[in-house]
Amino acid sequence: MARVGSFRFLLAGVACLALAGCLGAPAPELPRPPAAPVAPPPPTPKSIAATAYYAQVQQVLLREGMLRTDPGSEVRVSPERLTENFLRIALYQEFTRGTGGITRAETASPLTRWRDPVRVALRFGASVPADKQATDRARIASYLDRLSRVTGHPIGLSESEPNFWVYVVSEDEREALGPELQSLRFSIEPDVIQAVTRMSPTTYCNVFAISGAESHVHRNAVAVIRAENPDLLRLSCFHEEIAQGLGLPNDSPRARPSIFNDDEEFALLTDQDEMMLRILYSPELRPGMTADEARPIVLSLARRMVGGES
């Protein structure tokens, strides 16, 4: 799949007060001129080429009927199919770590999710214009609010002790992102940094969630989105990478309708995806469960959801 899944960064006020005290009356507050917008640097040839390439990718996918923005409501998902899809997506990973670095290889993985509130910080490269930053910020804030309602878990934008960083960067900025990632308040392994800075052109975006080896609880995550992605491809990256960073790290060709599928049919979170997130954060499950342990509980939850029970 091109959208790679997850793997288990006052002096003027004092003077004014002194003057007001001397005169015995408050000094009028002068209006501050708005800060002049900082123009982004001109795009590099590498970024221009990437912009053209990903625009073509989106056009081809749309022409083939992919990147649907509806929730897939017409596709009936049985409790049994929802159960199997959840177990394959939540309790397996797309990638594994070995002596050669991070490689694509589906492996079983215990159920892992967040315990602490998810505090998302956005980091835009200087190449991203102010209007696009504002649009991305609004879209992500709305999406995080939706994810919080679906999961019942606190998720939102925050610059106060963030633990989930979303970078929107150009080709050149991504390749130079290593020092920035190393400066974050948690340790990132060299192979993760290499996976970001050497991202394949066929990868539109990716996310890396970091958890304790024993606790199976996510503590930090980093998502990287190509700034050259056109609007819908960019939005689809936000939807998939943030959701995968919550604890749904795998993809499955049998998951439909779903963004956790290699075929790119759906661009945005679907009805089934919402149900899988609700299952993931159900208090009936616990971090560290294996697929065999989770299966009867997941099936019970799926029957209640698909059957319309509360």
pLDDT in tens, 63-81: 999 999 999 999 999 999 9
Provide the pLDDT for residue 185. 81
Tokens of 215: 């606790």
Cα-Cα-Cα-Cα dihedral sign, residues 298, 303, 308, 310: negative
pLDDT exceeding 90 applies to what percent of the chain?
76
When pLDDT is averaged across residues 255-271 and rounded to a whole number, the result is 96
pLDDT exceeds 60 at position 270 = yes
The C-alpha angle with vertex 202 and arms to 53 and 135, in degrees rounded to 5, equals 65
pLDDT exceeds 90 at position 272 = yes
Reported as a pLDDT band with limits 50, 70 and 90, residue 104 is confident
pTM value?
Answer: 0.86
Q: How many CB atoms lie within 10 A of CB 193?
A: 18
Provide the pLDDT for residue 187. 85
Q: How many CB atoms lie within 10 A of CB 225?
A: 28
Q: Compute the distance between CA of residue 247 and CA of residue 110 in angstroms, rounded to an integer.
A: 10
When pLDDT is averaged across residues 149-165 and rounded to a whole number, the result is 97
**79-306: which CATH topology?**
Collagenase (Catalytic Domain) (3.40.390)
Tokens of 82: 């929802």
Place of tokens 């080709």: 171
Pick 83 or 101 by higher pLDDT. 83
**Which of the residue ranges 51-65, 87-101, 130-144, 181-195 would you say has the lowest mean pLDDT?**
87-101
Tokens of 254: 């049998």
Cα-Cα-Cα-Cα dihedral sign, residues 189, 9, 223, 205: negative
pLDDT exceeds 70 at position 17 = no
- What residue ranges do the domains of the chain occupy? 79-306
Provide the pLDDT for residue 262. 85
Provide the pLDDT for residue 108. 92
Provide the pLDDT for residue 58. 98
pLDDT exceeds 50 at position 61 = yes
When pLDDT is averaged across residues 74-90 and rounded to a whole number, the result is 97
Query: Per the omega criterion (within 30 degrees of 0), is the bond before 257 cis?
Result: yes
Reported as a pLDDT band with limits 50, 70 and 90, residue 1 is very low
pLDDT (tens digit per residue) in 242-257 = 999 999 999 999 999 9
Kindly report the three-state secondary structure assignment for every residue of 151-215: HCCCEEECCCCCCEEEEEECHHHHHCCHHHHHCCCCCCCHHHHHHHHCCCCCCCEEEEEEECCCC
What is the DSSP pairing of strand 205-211 with strand 3-7? parallel
When pLDDT is averaged across residues 79-93 and rounded to a whole number, the result is 97
110, 285 contact by CB (below 8 A): no
Pick 135 or 104 by higher pLDDT. 135
**Which of the residue ranges 37-51, 101-115, 180-194 would you say has the lowest mean pLDDT?**
101-115
As a residue count, the chain comes to: 310
pLDDT exceeds 50 at position 25 = no
Provide the pLDDT for residue 211. 87
Tokens of 209: 């969630």
pLDDT exceeds 80 at position 207 = yes
Of the candidates 179, 151, 180, 152, the one whose C-alpha atom is nearest the C-alpha of residue 165 is 180
pLDDT exceeds 50 at position 213 = yes
Q: E strands, the chain, where?
A: 3-7, 92-98, 101-108, 113-114, 118-124, 155-157, 164-169, 205-211, 217-226
When pLDDT is averaged across residues 45-73 and rounded to a whole number, the result is 98
Reported as a pLDDT band with limits 50, 70 and 90, residue 55 is very high
3-state secondary structure of 78: coil
pLDDT exceeds 50 at position 23 = no
**Which of the residue ranges 31-40, 64-73, 150-159, 212-221 would you say has the lowest mean pLDDT?**
31-40
